[in-house]
Structure formats: structure tokens, C-alpha cells
Structure 1
Amino acid sequence: MEGLLRAYFTNENTAYDASCPGLALEKDSALTAFCEAMTREDEEPLLPTQIYVGMWRGAHIKLLAHILAAWKSTAQHPLLQIQAMNMEGVTEDTASFDRVMAVPFHAVDRVEDIPSLDAFLHVIGGARGLLTLLGIRCTVGSQVVCPPTRAQCMDAFNRKHAAESSSSILTIGARQWTKHVQRCLNGWWGQNKGSEAAKNAIAAAKIAELLDATVWMNVHGLPNGPVVFEIRQAEGYGARWGFQGNEVHFRGFVEPYMENGHELSWRH
């Protein structure tokens, strides 16, 4: 399955339409960016023990291959495993989820070559349906853009906050952690104390914890801002990265959604 997907997303099969019509992406630039992001390899793959718990390591295409292979072998729809999230103030657009859930088993069971794969992608709703199958949620403002890999997210998190000439070793992620930790009175984020090295270690452990426990992911646009990749664990704690193509930067941590969150500066 992975070989078939790789041939499709890298246009290795020149006998077929190289525009990947099943993805339903109108602009060539959007198609190219989506396919490149799907096949990006930047660390050894490690799939989560549960499909929709934790952000996977390795290329997105490997998780997709795992999901489709499991669907074909068990005849069980993979989206039955996705965890429902009730976040106050956030309304999911379930149109894509409902469409993919309605796909009959024979549609995926017939996938064995490039044309049948393209037909399957058309049935699930193109690139949007593919993201849904990968566990990426859809809300108002969601974008049909493939998210960065886990390795890209960690690289952005671990970059130095200060200029290279500075003696400070505090990372961008740790800097954001020191600014955010006081927002939660129950100590969920830990305590802001110790050396810069200690803060880097605490922040790195916290982001790894979030990535390992992720059950909700979204790619959306912020008002007057960039495209953002957002993750959250079951209680609603999470993190955000802004990205454009291969340029990824860590934006900060987020608190669980709450009523009047902005007015309260998300302190709870």
C-alpha cells in the first residue's frame, strides 16, 4: 500500500494523469505542496499504538498506508476509533467526517492501482477527506493543507530563542513555556524555575507529552495571520505552530477552551 501511495503522490506512474485529480486541489502550487508534505521523510517512522492517539513519527504517507491497510484487512472503518472532543466555543464541521464515514468497505477494498486509488480519493472528498482520514479535524476556518511532520514541529520548538551570538541557550519552546506556565493554577505545565538548561528540558518533555497524547489536530487560519497547525490532548491542553511550506515556527501553548477565555487571558 505504501508503494502505491508513494507512486501516486510523487507522480512516478507517468502513464496516469499526473495532476492527481482525486485530490481535488485546483491550483498546481497547492497540489505540489500537499504531495511534498505527504511524502516528507525526516525521521525514522514510528506509528502510534492507537491510530488516532498521539502524533505519528515519519511521513504522513506511512500513516495513511497503515490506516488503509488496516481498513482492508479488518473491514472495520478506522474513523470509528477517533475520539470525540467537546470543546466549548468550537464547532466542528462534520461534513467531511460524515462523507468519509459513509464510504463502503468495497471502495477501499478495490484500491490496488493508481486509477482505483484516485477513484477512492474522489469518493472520500479529495484532499479534505484524506486529512479527515488522518485524524485532522475540520472547523470554521480550517484549511485544506497538509500539516508539518512531528520532526518539523520539534525542530521549530527546539531552535534557540536568542540570536546565535547570544550566550543564552533558551529555546523558542522553553521561552514560550516560561510565558505560559502561570496561566494554569493547577500546575499542569510545571514550575518556572531553574537554569535555562533545566527550563529547556522541562519544556521539551511537556511538548513531547502533548504530541504523544494528541487526540485532536486541526489546520486552520487565524484572523489576519498564518496557517496554523494545532494539537490538543484529551483535557484540551495543546500547542500551535505557524507554517508556510517547509517554514515552520512554534507559536506557543494553548489552554483548554473555556467560556470567556480571552477576557480571562486563559487563566484558570
Structure 2
Amino acid sequence: MEEVDLRRVVGAFLATEPLGDVLGLDEDAALVFAQAFTRQDEEPAQPPRLYTGLCRGSYANLFANVLSTWKTTRRNPLHELQDVPMENFDEDKTSFNHIMAILPTSVDNLTNDITSIASFVKAIGGARGLLTLIGVRCTVGSQVICPPTREQCLEAFNRRHTTSSKHSVMTVGARQWTKHVERSSDRWWGVNKGSEAVKNNLAKAKIDELMDSAVWVNVHGLPNGPVVYEIRQAEGYGARWGFQGNDVHFRGFIEPYLENGHEVGWKH
């Protein structure tokens, strides 16, 4: 039996045009989705830990790894996606349940012909199915848009907070971090002390921790606002980025959900 090079065939499929019918998007949106899905971070891709932490490398390679795991174990990898109730989100399980019902033979039938991948992607629900299989949740307000890569998110986090001062080195991420350190009574965010450079390092360590432990990932629209990429770890701590195409900016950290969060300033 011919060995299937899933990374190669997935990449070849996403490089074809038109893709709109297969992805369930208009052609312009399909092209943007495919370009974002195949964007390769400069840092070397690491062996993925499915559904825990943000992947390094392209989402296309992550999808190929998901398929490889499914093909090898004959068990749908979505069984490994953690059930993490988020009280302020109404999760839509339609795509998840649809993919969970797909038989292992569908993966067994994949070949080095891109038409087999195209048929599979269409069967799982197009672009929405691709997002679900790489661990992106679907909620009320979710957008069928490929999220920025880990490297794009870090680049936005590490930008200087201000360019008006030659002496300030504080990053956008560190500035947002200083707003959260007093909100957690158990010092989850750390302690706000030291020089701007020290605070930059403390904030960078915290965003790395969140990126490595994220179990909830979502792309959604805020009311009257931009498209937002949101990540959270199991306790509900997280971070958000706003983005449009390759324009990515860090919006800030997130506290665990509190019913009266706005009233108490999200202190807990």
C-alpha cells in the first residue's frame, strides 16, 4: 500500500484554486483562509501535543498531524479535546458532533491524490470542520476565520507600548500585564515590581505559560468590535488578540469568568 504523505498532500490541496466550494466560503474568503492556514512560523515546528497549547508551525501541518494520529490510532482525535465549560460562552457542538460521527474508514481512504483530501474536507464541513479538528471551538458569535499563528501573536505582544519616548522599553504585553497583577488574590499573575525590562520578562513568561497550557481557543466577534482570537487555560485565565488578515494586535489578558466581574473590577 502506498504511504500517504499527509503534509505534502494537505499543502498541495490548500494551494489549489478554486477552494470556495470545498471550504464553504466565497472565493476571496477561501483564498485568505488557505493562505493563513498554511502560514509557516519561522521558528522550527515542534512535535504537537494535540489540543493543549498553541501549535508551532502552520495550521496545515497541525491538521496533517491530526489526520496522521487518527489514521494510526483509528480513534477520532477529538476524543482528546478537553471539555472545559466556559460559563460566559454558549458552545455550539454541531461541527464537533458531525466530525465525531465520521468513521475511521474515511481517513483510511485518504491518498496522495488531492481530490481525496478535498472530499474529506468537504465531508467534515469545509473551513469550519478544519478549525474544529485543530481545536478551535465554535460558540455563538464564532467566525469561520483562521486565527493568527503563535509567532504572529508573540510579535504583537512584544511590540513597544509607546514610540513617543526614546527611553521606554515596555512592551504592549507588559503594559497589559501590569493591569492584571493586582486582580488575583493568589498572585496568579505574579508581582508588579522591577524595571520595565524586568516587567517585560515577567509578562513574556506569563504569555508563554498561557500559550503552552491553552485548552480553549476561539475566534469570535466582539459586539460592535473586531474579530478576536481568544485563548484560555483550564482555570479560565487567558489572553486576546484582535486581528484582520496579517494585522494582529494584542488586546490584553483575561481573568476567569465572574458573574459580577465588571462590578468588582475583575478582582478575585
- TM (normalized to structure 2)? 0.94
Deviation at 1:262, TM superposition (A): 2.4
Deviation at 1:165, TM superposition (A): 5.1
Q: Which runs of 4+ in 1 moved over 6 A?
A: none
Q: Describe the SS at the equivalent of 1:181.
A: coil
Q: Describe the SS at the equivalent of 2:180.
A: helix
Distance 2:21 2:110 in 1: 16
- Indicate if the aligned counterparts of 2:156 and 2:248 stay in contact, CA closer than 8 A: yes
- Indicate if the aligned counterparts of 1:237 and 1:256 stay in contact, CA closer than 8 A: yes
Q: Kindly provide the amino acid, as one letter, of the partner of residue 259 in structure 2.
A: E
Distance 2:264 2:204 in 1: 27
Deviation at 1:91, TM superposition (A): 1.5
Q: Describe the SS at the equivalent of 1:122.
A: helix
Name 1:75's counterpart in structure 2.
Answer: 74
Q: Describe the SS at the equivalent of 1:241.
A: strand
The CA deviation string for residues 175-212 of structure 1, in whole angstroms up to 9 with x for no partner, is 00011221111100001110000000000000000000
Alignment of 1:1-268 (within 5 A): 1-11=6-16, 18-19=18-19, 21-25=21-25, 27-43=26-42, 44-48=44-48, 50-112=49-111, 113-163=113-163, 166-268=166-268
Q: Kindly provide the amino acid, as one letter, of the partner of residue 182 in structure 1.
A: E
- Indicate if the aligned counterparts of 1:39 and 1:61 stay in contact, CA closer than 8 A: yes
Q: Kindly provide the amino acid, as one letter, of the partner of residue 163 in structure 2.
A: A
- Indicate if the aligned counterparts of 2:169 and 2:196 stay in contact, CA closer than 8 A: yes
Q: Describe the SS at the equivalent of 2:242.
A: strand
Q: Describe the SS at the equivalent of 2:35.
A: helix
Deviation at 1:107, TM superposition (A): 1.2
- Give unmatched runs, 5+ long, in structure 2: 1-5
- TM (normalized to structure 1)? 0.94
The Cα RMSD (Å) is 1.2
Distance 1:90 1:262 in 2: 17
- Give unmatched runs, 5+ long, in structure 1: 12-16
Q: Kindly provide the amino acid, as one letter, of the partner of residue 86 in structure 2.
A: M
The CA deviation string for residues 200-244 of structure 1, in whole angstroms up to 9 with x for no partner, is 000000000000001010000001111000000111100000000
- Indicate if the aligned counterparts of 1:216 and 1:232 stay in contact, CA closer than 8 A: yes
- Indicate if the aligned counterparts of 1:171 and 1:200 stay in contact, CA closer than 8 A: yes
Q: Kindly provide the amino acid, as one letter, of the partner of residue 161 in structure 2.
A: H
Q: Give the number of equivalent residue pairs.
A: 261
Deviation at 1:257, TM superposition (A): 1.3
Identity %: 56
Q: Kindly provide the amino acid, as one letter, of the partner of residue 88 in structure 2.
A: G
